[in-house]
Structure 1
C-alpha cells in the first residue's frame, strides 16, 4: 500500500510540474503549437487556436498540424478560414433539420442523417426526394424505405448493407414504431452473414425493451461466432422468455469468450441469479476485481462493507473539496475517478479537459459569468477544474437531485436522461432493476455502473450518517422515476 501511495504522489507531482509549465505559457501561438507532439493534446490546442482572431493563412497552417479532425475543429476552422464553400459545408453540417428541407441537394445530403430524417413528415421527405433523386440515388433509396406506408416491408427486402444502415441508424422511436416485427427467416439468414453488424443489431435490439417482436426473433440464435456481449444479451432475452436453460447456456458461452475479470464477474452474477447457487455468490464476494457485482455479492451475503483502502487519497483533491458535504465530495470524486482517473492533464477525444473533464465551451461560459479571464492553459489547474465543476453541478441540481441523474446530466447524456423519464430502473425486483441497468450501460460502456460503485464507496467512507447500500440506491431510483412520471 505504501508503494501505491508513493506512486500516486509521484504521478501527481509530475502532473503538477506539467500544469505549471503550461500555466506559465501566456499566449497560444502557432510557433508554440509547433513545439507540441502529434496527438490529442496538440489537436486540443489547435482547436483553441482556431477560435482566436487569426488570419485565413494561419488557420490553414494550424489545420495541417491536426492528427484527428473532429466536427468541432472543422467548424472552428471554417469560421477562421473564411472560405465561402468551406463555410457552406460547415453550415450544412450544423443546420437545423427544419431548414435543411428547404435547402439544396448537396446541403441536404451533407447535413441530414437517417436519424433526423425519421423525425420528418412524409411531405418533407417527398420534397427532399424530389431535390436529391437525380444526384444521390442511394440516399433517396433509403429515404423511400423509411417514408413508405409500411417501412418494415421495404426494409426486409433491402440488401444486407442497406438493411443495417437503415435499422442501426434510424431514430429509436421510429425503430420501435415501424420495425417491431418478427424477422422473416430469409431476412434473418441474409443479415446473419455479417457477424460484426449482427452483434450491433443484437445490442440495439435487445437493449430496447419495447422491441418485443424482434426479441422473439432472437430466442434461438446460434451465438458461436458472435461476441461475448451478444451471448450475454441473448441470455437476458431468454430470461425474459422464462427459459432458464437457454439463458444458462448463453452465459456459459459468454464466459468462454472473454478473459476480462470484471466482465466474467458480471456473467457469474447472472449465473447465480439463474441457479441460486450461493457458492457462486461466495466466490464473487472474494473476487480479486472490485466491481459492482462483487460488491453486490457481499451485500447479498450480509458481509461487512469491503475494505475501502483502494480509494486513492490525493491531498490536493481532499483539501480543495474539504468545504463540501459528503454527497457532493463523493459525487466529485466518482466523476474525477471515472472521467480522468485523477489526471489533471487529461484531454479526452471530445476535448473535455482537466481532472473534472469539462468542455471548454462550458468553461468559457462559467468564466464569463464569474467575470474571470478564460485561458486555454488555466483549465488544467485542479483548483479551477473542481471549482467550475462544482458550479456546474449546482446549476444541474436545480433540475436533478439524485446523484445518478446528476451524473447523466453532467455527462450531457440527453438520450439517457430521456430514457430515465421512461422508468430507466423501475421494477419491484432488484434483479429486474439491475437488468435495466445492464441495457443502459451496454450502450454507455459501463460508465454508469462505475459511477454507482465509486459514489457508493466514497460516500460511505466520508459519511457520519447511515451507510448507503447498493439496494437503497436502486430503491431511490424507483422513487425518483415515479416523481418524473407524475
Structure 2
C-alpha cells in the first residue's frame, strides 16, 4: 500500500497554479476541466495574441461555444463543424448540398409551409434517407397529428421537438384517444418519455395533457410513470394516480424516485403501512425524513460526520490546486479493490483533506454511508446554526466539500461560485483584491457562499426556495413564483405537489436534496426542524 500511495502522490509534487497564465503554463498541465478553465481565462485576456490563442485552443479538452466565441473575437473565424455550417444555410442553398448536409440543416418546422414545388424537390432529395423521408411525408400531410400518431414513438418525439411552440399548440394540442398515446408511450422510447415529462410539467398543451388521462400506460420509464400519476392526481383521478405511483415504485432502480413514489402512495391513500415501509429506507431524503418524523421512529440510515484520528499537519498534496485534484482523482479511480481503497484512506487522514478521505471511503464501502461533514467550520464565525446548516447543505450538494473542484461551466470550489460572481461578491464583502483562484481556498469559499446564501435568503426566506435560486438562479425562481401557479395555499397536496412541478429538472431535484441535507445538518448542529412546519411556510400564493 505504501508503494501505491507513493504512486498516487508522486506526480503531484511538480504541480502548482501559476501566477501568470502563459502558453508554457498551459502546455505543462494535464488535459481536463482545470486546464480548460485556465484556457478560458487566457483567451479572455485582451493582451493574448491571436497566435497564442490558437495554440491554447488546440489544448482544449471540451470545446464549447464560449471558448469558440473568444477565439473568434481574437480575429480568427473558427471553422464550424459541418452540421453547424449546414444548419446556417437557407432552404434553397441547402437543397444544393448533399443528403448528409440536408439531414443536418433541414428545419422540419418549415416543411408544412413549403410550396408544392419546394416540397417535391425536398422529397426527391431526402428519399434515400428513410427516417428523414418519413418525417417530411408526415409534415406535408393534411392531418399531421394523425400521421404522427400512426408512426412510432421516436419519430413522434423527433417531429414534436422540431416544431415551434406555436406549431405545437396548433397541431399537437388536440383531443387524442388515450389508447393511441398508450401505444406510443409503451414503446418506452427515451425521446418520447422526455417529451411526455415536459408536457405534464407545463400548461402549454392542456388538451394533449388531458388526453393522457385514463391512458393506463404501463411500460414508460419510472419517472414518466410517476409524472403520469401526478397528472391523474391533478385531475382528481385518485385510483389511476395510485396505480401509476405503484408502477413507478416497483420499476425504479433509483432509490430517491422509489421513495418518492412510495411517499405519494401513502400521502394519497393514508395507508400507514406504506409510511412504515418508507421509514425503513436507508436512504436520506425528504421522504424518509418525513416518515420518521411522522412516526417518531429512529432513522435506519447511517450518518458519518467525521473520521478520527486526523492529523493537524498539511496533507502531502495541495488541496487548493485543481490540477492536483484532477490527477489525484484519476489515479484513485484506477484503484478498484475495496480493501486497498480502505487502506488508502489513511494516507488522507488529515484535517484539511477530510473531504478527500470521505471520497475514498465512500468508494471503499460501495456508497453505503451518508457523509455529513462540516470541514473548516471552526474557521468561520457563524451567525447562527441556520446559516451554518444551510451553507453546508449547499456545499455537500455542490462539491461534496472538495475545495479545488471545477465544473463544466467553470463554477469554482467548494461552493461552486461562478466566475462572474466573484468580483461583485468580493466588493460587497470588502475584499476587492480577491482572485478567482481564491475560490479554491475552502475558508474563502465558505465565506463567499454564505454571503450569497444570505442575499438569497433575504429575498426568498425559505431554505427550499434558496436552494432553487442557488441552482437555477434567482431570476428563474422569481419568474416561476410570479406565475402564481405553484405553492398555492389550501390546494390539496401542497406544497409536495408544487415541489414535483418545478419546471427545471435539475433545480427540482437539487431543491429536494438540499432540503434533506439542511434538515440533517440542523439536527447535527443542535436544532430539530419539523419538516412539515418548514414546508408550510412555502405556501405563498
Tell me which interval the TM-score lies in, with the shorter structure as reference length.
0.7 to 0.9
Q: Determine the structure 2 residue equivalent to 1:399.
A: 459
Q: What is the alpha-carbon distance in structure 2 between the residues aligned to residue 449 and residue 180 of structure 1? A: 31
Preserved contact between residue 279 and residue 300 of structure 2 (Cα < 8 Å): no
Q: Determine the structure 2 residue equivalent to 1:350.
A: 409
1:51-62 to 2 correspondence within 5 Å? 51-52=44-45, 53-62=47-56
TM-score (norm 2): 0.66
Q: What is the alpha-carbon distance in structure 2 between the residues aligned to residue 67 and residue 280 of structure 1? A: 48
Count residues with an aligned counterpart: 422
- SS across alignment from 1:67: coil
Q: Determine the structure 2 residue equivalent to 1:247.
A: 241
- SS across alignment from 2:461: coil
Q: Determine the structure 2 residue equivalent to 1:424.
A: 486
Structure 1 residues 438 and 184, CA, compared in 2 at 3 Å: closer, same or farther? same
Q: Determine the structure 2 residue equivalent to 1:477.
A: 538
Q: What is the alpha-carbon distance in structure 2 between the residues aligned to residue 229 and residue 373 of structure 1? A: 47
Instruction: Select the residue among 451, 463, 470 that pairs with 2:514.
Output: 451
Q: What is the alpha-carbon distance in structure 1 between the residues aligned to residue 41 and residue 262 of structure 2? A: 47
Preserved contact between residue 29 and residue 49 of structure 1 (Cα < 8 Å): yes
TM-score (norm 1): 0.73
Structure 1 residues 411 and 64, CA, compared in 2 at 3 Å: closer, same or farther? same
Q: Determine the structure 2 residue equivalent to 1:330.
A: 389
Instruction: Select the residue among 262, 266, 272 that pairs with 1:272.
Output: 266
Could you say what the CA RMSD is over the residues aligned between the two structures, in angstroms? 4.1
Q: Determine the structure 2 residue equivalent to 1:297.
A: 291
1:54-453 to 2 correspondence within 5 Å? 54-79=48-73, 81-83=74-76, 85-86=77-78, 132-135=90-93, 142=109, 156=145, 164=157, 167-168=160-161, 180-183=173-176, 188=181, 195-209=189-203, 211-221=205-215, 223-303=217-297, 309-311=303-305, 312=371, 314=373, 316-367=375-426, 370=430, 372-397=432-457, 399-413=459-473, 414-421=475-482, 422-428=484-490, 431-440=493-502, 443-444=505-506, 446-453=509-516
Structure 1 residues 231 and 189, CA, compared in 2 at 3 Å: closer, same or farther? closer
Structure 1 residues 18 and 378, CA, compared in 2 at 3 Å: closer, same or farther? farther
1:174 is displaced (CA, Å) by 9.0
- SS across alignment from 1:66: coil
Q: Determine the structure 2 residue equivalent to 1:31.
A: 24
Q: Determine the structure 2 residue equivalent to 1:100.
A: none
1:64 is displaced (CA, Å) by 1.4
Stretches of structure 1 that go unaligned for 5 or more consecutive residues are 1-9, 94-105, 111-130, 147-152
Q: Determine the structure 2 residue equivalent to 1:116.
A: none
Q: Determine the structure 2 residue equivalent to 1:123.
A: none
Stretches of structure 2 that go unaligned for 5 or more consecutive residues are 96-104, 114-141, 306-370
Q: What is the alpha-carbon distance in structure 1 between the residues aligned to residue 181 and residue 16 of structure 2? A: 56
1:285 is displaced (CA, Å) by 1.2
Preserved contact between residue 109 and residue 162 of structure 2 (Cα < 8 Å): no
The structure with more radius of gyration: 2
Structure 1 residues 290 and 391, CA, compared in 2 at 3 Å: closer, same or farther? closer
Q: What is the alpha-carbon distance in structure 1 between the residues aligned to residue 378 and residue 163 of structure 2? A: 48
Structure 1 residues 185 and 334, CA, compared in 2 at 3 Å: closer, same or farther? closer
Preserved contact between residue 132 and residue 140 of structure 1 (Cα < 8 Å): no
